[in-house]
Amino acid sequence: QVQLVESGGGLVRPGGSLRLSCAASGSNFDRYTMAWYRQAPENQRELVAVSFAGGSTDYADSVKGRFAISRDNAKNTVYLQMNSLKPEDTTVYYCNVRNRDGSYWGQGTQVTVSS
């Protein structure tokens, strides 16, 4: 069973930056897919960034060039560096880990971009 603890959300002005962290329990995280999602309309979650076990990454078009996902396997932690934040980035962000046994979600952390 994997438990995820998120942190780093908060209030930031447009153009500012935040760094989200998600610490996971367990082992063998170097073999897991890690990702960040965010709350979208109609109670859906959209994929923002994904980090595959092999080292490749991918991003939603809306955040390319502004956000960067990274992982520290020794700390069982995945990060989302968010730069050049816009008001439309305001929502709840969730980390996600996938392994052989299932998909696991963090509790969510609020990001608010406002002047």
Residue 75 gets the label, from left (phi > 0), alpha (psi -120 to 50) or beta, of alpha
Residues 25-61, buried b or exposed e (16+ Cβ, 10 A)? eeeebeebebbbbbbeeeeebeebbbbebeeeeebee
Give the per-residue pLDDT at 29: 82
Predicted confidence band of residue 15 (pLDDT cuts 50, 70, 90): very high
Q: Distance between CA 2 and CA 91 in Å, rounded? A: 24
Helix, strand, coil percentages, rounded to 5, for the chain: 10, 55, 35
Q: What is the pLDDT of residues 57-85, one digit of tens each?
A: 999 999 999 999 999 988 999 999 999 99
